[in-house]
Amino acid sequence: MSTIRLTMAQALVKYLAAQHTEHEGREVPLFEGVFAIFGHGNVAGLGEALYHVREELPTLRAHNEQTMAHAAIAFAKANGRRRLMAATSSIGPGAANMVTAAALAHANRLPVLLLPGDTFATREPDPVLQQLEHFGDPTVTVNDCFRPVSRYFDRITRPEQLLTSLPQAIATLLDPEHCGPATLALPQDVQTFAYDYPESFFAPKVHRIRRPQPDPRELEAAIAALAGSERPLIIAGGGVHYAGASERLGEFALAHGVPVAETQAGKGALPDDHACAVGAIGVTGSEAANRLAEEADVILAVGTRLQDFTTGSRALFERDDLTLVALNVGRFDSQKHHALPLTGDAFDGLAALDAGLAQWRASDPWREQSDSLKRAWDEVVARVTADEGRELPTDAQVIGAVNRQAGEDGTVVCAAGGLPGELHKLWQCAGPGSYHVEYGFSCMGYEIAGGLGVKMARPEREVFVMVGDGSYLMHNSELATSVMLGHKLVVVVLDNRGFGCINRLQQATGGAGFNNLLDDCRAVPEGAPKTDFAGHARSLGCQAESVRGIRGLEEALVRARRASTTYVIALDTDPLPSTAEGGAWWEVAVPEVSQREQVKEAYAGYRQAKRRQHY
């Protein structure tokens, strides 16, 4: 057997560089590159190894370990989980920073390879700088925090362990059912240990994503349920995008006259002008989709994990005669809510359903009702997103302005707070790729880094990042990375002086305004400072300006589109309004005992609403 002597770190990067994937009809490198912030735990081993493969496996310098991993995750999502990135940090705070990103990837079923440095396997310099000492267990390090938020975890304590562990990590990253973050903790000394690796280990490999086929008996039951339906509804989730099934879903819906609602992850599966598209569903859903969900006799959920924002905390689908069919590549998700499971790939599952349903179509009255509800909702969207000339515009009006300027080649990126809810209801998608909102983990600070990852994946698209002042202040440093790497973003900062979304939720549950809007926070007599977001963005190398009102925003967006580098637009907005139309109940526990009458009233309403839940 022919061998090559390499350090563990050299073997790792050589293996990553040899991996390829089939994507959009081409064979391309599986890994776009490695985001890295070096420290004593990875610079001498992995850093030196990355230097020698920097052309075929580029190393990208970021400014925060959490946000560089967010960018890597967004890159994978924008590529339909077909292409990936890795992220490496030193031990201690660098590794701990990436744990939040790992949790986000785990919640959203998105792949990212995390390579945190670790303490010395030999323990000779124990305790090393940044080491977290566990008094009762010397094997525990910060990296053990990755265990519950990784789909695959291993600590490489011998260089030869890569031979078995690294292929398993890659397989997890590309598994359609178990996809999620894979973490290989790399003790800093083991990174430098050498081993005679088989040369065959580094042979180029092309990966192809599996498409698990539905079980014939489950398929038969699903076909029977749909064939007996007069009022069917499809809920499209993120799995539609990852299976490349958007076009097939549209054809299936048209052939059988079935309206299609979309989750946050599924939004954009159909363009908004598709004859069967009825908009968003659930807590942040359209009146059209939610009304149909309440009256449907069969719901076909495709590629969605049916979390509480989709189901209205299990209260939206309340008919006793409702049958729920869950087509999902993951057995875990296809079994939820006592559904008829149809475990398998969305693309092939829809084809099998289509073949089995032959000429079946939804009833004429149901299709007519769907069309009427969608037309009425379109009128709502046009009204609430129109410019009313307000000095402090609403989130909805800002969304309308950005949507109008985004065009066919625009992608909106957002996460957390009130904006995702308004975007889910109101953003008019041109089709797949036009909507990228992280809401599975609802992670503040994802927005700008996520926009960077999307732009890296889709450089031909104009990427519009919408971010509140709270999230901007939390994580903004990857603006400098976007300028440094030449990945232009258009960033719109909505400054409502606080956490407006949670302020509204606080008051909706009877609470007093407290610690959310800056005016309600403990501060010096002069109050909280007014942040100059445009000035800050310019200090990071961006072009930037502050504007007033929707007209000023639209004019600035035209200038931003013409710009060649990242362009930040800041404007003041009203923290109080949100779109009253649409939506569904969401369970947020209200205190059973309180001195406030408003809380007592909210608790009574909470108990009343819970009666709609089946269990």
Per-residue model confidence as pLDDT tens digits over 259-270: 999 999 999 999
For the packed helices 364-384 and 287-295, what is the interaxial angle rounded to 10 degrees? 150
Checking if the pLDDT of 54 tops 90, the result is yes
Question: Helix, strand, or coil here: 114?
Answer: strand
- Looking at residue 561, its pLDDT comes to 97
Q: Given phi > 0 = left and psi -120 to 50 = alpha, else beta, which region is 389?
A: left
Residues 305, 298 contacting (CB under 8 angstroms)? no
C-alpha to C-alpha distances, 94 to 207, 473, 608, nearest whole angstrom: 31, 20, 47
* Domains in the chain, CATH or no CATH each: 3-207 (3.40.50.970), 216-378 (3.40.50.1220), 387-572 (3.40.50.970)
- The residue-averaged pLDDT of 168-181 equals 97
C-alpha to C-alpha distances, 591 to 514, 574, 603, 604, nearest whole angstrom: 16, 28, 7, 10
pLDDT confidence bin for 138, thresholds 50/70/90: very high
Question: Strand runs (DSSP E) across 375-449, as ranges?
Answer: 410-415, 435-438
Give the whole-angstrom CA distance, residue 372 versus residue 370.
5
Other CB atoms within 10 A of residue 127 CB: 12
- The residue-averaged pLDDT of 563-572 equals 98
pLDDT above 90 covers what percent of the chain?
94
Checking if the pLDDT of 23 tops 90, the result is no
- The residue-averaged pLDDT of 12-23 equals 96
Checking if the pLDDT of 428 tops 80, the result is yes
Residues making up the chain, counted from first to last = 615
- CA 118, distance to chain mean position in Å, is 28
Residues 149, 140 contacting (CB under 8 angstroms)? no
Residues 491, 465 contacting (CB under 8 angstroms)? yes
Residues 228, 203 contacting (CB under 8 angstroms)? no
- Sequence-distant (≥ 6) Cβ neighbours of residue 350 within 8 angstroms: 245, 248, 249, 252, 302, 327
C-alpha to C-alpha distances, 236 to 9, 164, 182, 446, 567, nearest whole angstrom: 42, 37, 27, 23, 33
Burial environment of residue 530 by CB neighbours within 10 A (0 to 12, 13 to 18, 19 or more): exposed
| Residue whose pair of structure tokens reads 């590629």 in the numeric block | 303
pLDDT confidence bin for 317, thresholds 50/70/90: confident
**Which two tokens mark 37?**
């912030």
Question: Helix, strand, or coil here: 282?
Answer: coil
- The residue-averaged pLDDT of 113-134 equals 94
Mean pLDDT of the chain: 96
| 379-427 tens-digit pLDDT | 999 999 999 999 999 999 999 999 999 999 999 999 998 999 999 999 9
Checking if the pLDDT of 615 tops 80, the result is no
Give the whole-angstrom CA distance, residue 327 versus residue 313.
20
Checking if the pLDDT of 309 tops 90, the result is yes
| 326-380 tens-digit pLDDT | 999 999 999 999 999 999 999 999 999 999 999 999 999 999 999 999 999 999 9
- Sequence-distant (≥ 6) Cβ neighbours of residue 109 within 8 angstroms: 179, 180, 238, 305, 330, 440
**Which two tokens mark 147?**
């265990």
Question: Helix, strand, or coil here: 267?
Answer: coil
Question: Helix, strand, or coil here: 374?
Answer: helix
- What is the sign, positive or negative, of the torsion defined by CA atoms of 467, 473, 478, 484? positive
Question: How wide is the angle at C-alpha 371 spanned by C-alphas 368 and 372, nearest 5°?
Answer: 85
Residues 255, 319 contacting (CB under 8 angstroms)? no
Tell which residue, 315, 301, 293, has the closest CA to residue 373.
293
Which residue(s) pair with 320 in the sheet? none
Tell which residue, 128, 133, 33, 147, has the closest CA to residue 90.
128
Give the CA-trace dihedral at 22, 25, 29, 34, to 10 degrees: -100
pLDDT confidence bin for 322, thresholds 50/70/90: very high
For the packed helices 216-227 and 346-357, what is the interaxial angle rounded to 10 degrees? 50
Checking if the pLDDT of 318 tops 90, the result is no
Give the whole-angstrom CA distance, residue 149 versus residue 126.
27
Please report which helix (H) or strand (E) contains residue 295, including its range. Answer: helix 287-295
- Looking at residue 1, its pLDDT comes to 85
Other CB atoms within 10 A of residue 88 CB: 33
Residues 548, 572 contacting (CB under 8 angstroms)? yes
- The residue-averaged pLDDT of 219-231 equals 98
**Which two tokens mark 120?**
């010395």
- Looking at residue 157, its pLDDT comes to 98
pLDDT above 70 covers what percent of the chain?
100
| Residue whose pair of structure tokens reads 């562990």 in the numeric block | 165
- Looking at residue 25, its pLDDT comes to 83
Q: What is the CA radius of gyration of the chain?
A: 25
- What is the sign, positive or negative, of the torsion defined by CA atoms of 98, 99, 102, 104? negative
Give the whole-angstrom CA distance, residue 423 versus residue 436.
10
Residues 84, 112 contacting (CB under 8 angstroms)? yes
- Sequence-distant (≥ 6) Cβ neighbours of residue 262 within 8 angstroms: 235, 236, 237, 268, 269, 270, 277, 279, 280, 281, 289
Checking if the pLDDT of 578 tops 90, the result is yes
- Looking at residue 320, its pLDDT comes to 84
Question: Helix, strand, or coil here: 403?
Answer: helix
Cis peptide before 577 (omega within 30 of 0): no
- What is the sign, positive or negative, of the torsion defined by CA atoms of 229, 231, 237, 241? positive
Tell which residue, 333, 331, 307, 311, has the closest CA to residue 322.
311
Give the CA-trace dihedral at 54, 60, 65, 70, to 10 degrees: -120
**Which two tokens mark 177?**
């059912």
| 101-118 tens-digit pLDDT | 999 999 999 999 999 999
- The residue-averaged pLDDT of 161-184 equals 98
